[in-house]
Structure 1
């Protein structure tokens, strides 16, 4: 394989997938994203301006003209359609989410561009929830009819060098002339596991690895050298409660019951809310609510505040100087919705290795013909 492989990046977000593929020496030949703020972030991070458009309203043949790309010449088509309709947090409400149909838009683009490989990422709810399964079956049947071999796996991003437990469904497809779909091996694992103890894998990266070096803040403060390292303000009552949550992984349930907030007194679920991250473990899932202690385990391990957007971005595996554009709400959404770059890089390297192997085989065949 000579030079950089080519990638089309659909539902591109802030550029998490693209960054991973670039690190594996691919070139982004075209990208599309509906959110204007994410488009601006993507362009700054990746150096490619995405089409800022609703893909359901852009036929693939029109996109091909705008990208100056022809069917059959792309190495990888990546697609991470919005997953909110398939998350377990939405329950039955997710079945009517209009974004669910974007799964089939991905299929339309594969059908037109016929890439050598495809990568589809989503939440595990796509194969667990009844309405998710219906879309998944339509997608996979369509891909099989197009002549793609498929390999699916539910992975934890922590196993690929992301300091965060984040379970995702990954489907990798290979055109029949490219052989069986490759899949990356896990590079990291539980420090107690035999593979890690024997040196075959690295230990999971931790919250301390990702954010332990950042300067301390109080709620409402901002690092003068980094506008993204900005701790959200807290009401007096919430702050008083967070102070009582034990440091380094403590839960709100460990606070004396008489001190509980009213919303917790008659509610047994969501026990991770108002709880702290643990220094020496990966974080839980970084979501669009990642800087709000009421949305999950997003309190700092020892400082009495929620994590900052910078800390959330580092826990997703973005570089420490990544710039995100838009309002704070928009930035948090971009970070929480992103594909972690180290996970994308692991996938990209597995595909690149296959492309290089196929290139060597083809070169060898041509040499023998002479």
Structure 2
């Protein structure tokens, strides 16, 4: 019997993976998140409990700012139910203390700030970048058949490529074959969605498969690509998932799905969005007219990322309605649902083919 995938999600955020893979019957065995607001979303939407492990605010070497941030995060968890339908393992770095679990797939998008072109590009020298290696250590402990890792394309050039090379080298030492590809969410259509999301959101995806690179390659590329054949003529002139092309003639919409602003850059460290709202004139005294673009609402940002309306509108810290700020940040840090659904559909297809072959 063909069993649905059991997966462990790390750096779970608001769980785009669970939303994307629900149509396939896949089940999250556990999540791992320590940010208070996403934990409230996980609790309300998925029934996840309070994190089992939180970073200590009294750990040696912490700055006063970091210590306060950790203490406030722990305080922010008091309104998350302690027990839930699925466990939240919490702090990734405490993975050795996590419970045992049988999983088929490990998915996670470790923090991208250390690899982003808008950041300082410290790569693996940044504690956030080192979480990429913690992800691999978790894979070594639980030994899933499949891996899915997401990050910004800047990881390809971080440390002149050495950081990504170190990640892939460690992946190979663990016995995983792998493939990677940059997908742009605006071109990724799936059977579950009538259209791709209307934003330019390029992300690097690494898919790993235990012992063999070919199943991983079959997930991210079609058969013609794996054989090295030229693309079919029927695709000429058409946008295809993962290919980076010029977007429509349109401008940037301010503050679109961005979790933060880059210091000194003059703009958001996020992604561009096209054709969401029309420019509208603002009339002023004296007959002057100035065109402006309004700020997107959290609901519109949910749609941009492929979530259902109101996914992040959950009770938070004793209030029935959530302030906009935490919703913007959580959505800006999230994966795009349609890109994750496309990857899930491809993995599901490859798994069925392997099952038929008796592999």
TM category (shorter chain) comes to 0.5 to 0.7
Which whole-Å CA distance do the structure 2 matches of 1:149 and 1:95 have between them? 22
Asked if residue 310 in structure 1 is aligned to residue 299 in structure 2, the reply is yes
Question: Which runs of no fewer than 5 residues in structure 1 stay unpaired?
Answer: 187-192, 208-247, 251-274, 278-283, 366-370
Aligned residue for 1:143?
A: 171
- 1:108 Cα deviation after fit: 0.4
For 1:336, which of 311, 332, 339 is the aligned residue?
Answer: 332
Does residue 51 (structure 1) correspond to residue 79 (structure 2)? The answer is no
Take 1:353 and 1:108, find their aligned partners in 2: how far apart are those partners?
28
Distance (whole Å) between structure 1 residues aligned to residue 172 and residue 122 of structure 2: 30
Q: Which residue of 1 aligns with 2:187?
A: 159
- RMSD over aligned Cα atoms: 3.4
2:147 to 103, 118, 142: 118
Summarize the Cα distance change of 1:340–1:46 in structure 2 as closer, same or farther, 3 Å threshold. farther
Tell me how far 1:179 sits from its aligned partner. Answer: 5.0
CA distance in 2, matches of 1:309, 1:152: 31
Q: Structure 1 residues 358, 127: CA separation in 2 closer, same or farther (over 3 Å shift)?
A: same
* Counterpart for residue 253 of structure 1: none
The Cα shift of 1:76 comes to 1.0
Following superposition of structure 1 onto structure 2, how do residues 59-98 of structure 1 map, counting pairs within 5 Å? 59-60=95-96, 62-65=97-100, 69-70=101-102, 74-92=103-121, 97-98=126-127
Which residue of structure 1 aligns with residue 311 of structure 2?
A: 322
The change in CA–CA distance for 1:176 and 1:330 in structure 2 (over 3 A counts) is: same
Q: CA deviation at 1:198?
A: 8.0
CA contact (8 A) 2:180 2:220 kept: no
Report the CA distance between 1:48 and its aligned residue.
3.9
Q: Do residues 18 (structure 1) and 4 (structure 2) align? A: no
Show the 5 A alignment for 1:266-285.
275-276=252-253
Query: After superposition, where does 1:125-204 map in structure 2 within 5 Å?
Result: 125-130=154-159, 133-160=161-188, 161-176=196-211, 179-181=214-216, 182-184=218-220, 195=235
Distance in structure 2 (CA, Å) of the matches to 1:141 and 1:200: 29
Aligned pairs, number: 273
* Partner SS for 1:149: strand
Report the CA distance between 1:196 and its aligned residue: 8.5
Bigger helix fraction: 1
Pair 1:358 & 2:354 matched: yes
**Partner-residue secondary structure (3-state), 1:90:** coil
Distance of aligned partners of 1:148 and 1:48 in 2 relative to their CA distance in 1, 3 Å threshold: same
Aligned equivalent of 1:288: 259
Say which SS state the counterpart of residue 118 (structure 1) adopts.
strand
What are structure 2's unaligned runs of at least 5 residues? Answer: 50-86, 189-195, 223-232, 281-291, 315-321
Q: Tell me the TM-score normalised to structure 2 length.
A: 0.66
- 8 Å Cα contact 2:13/2:39 also seen in 1: yes
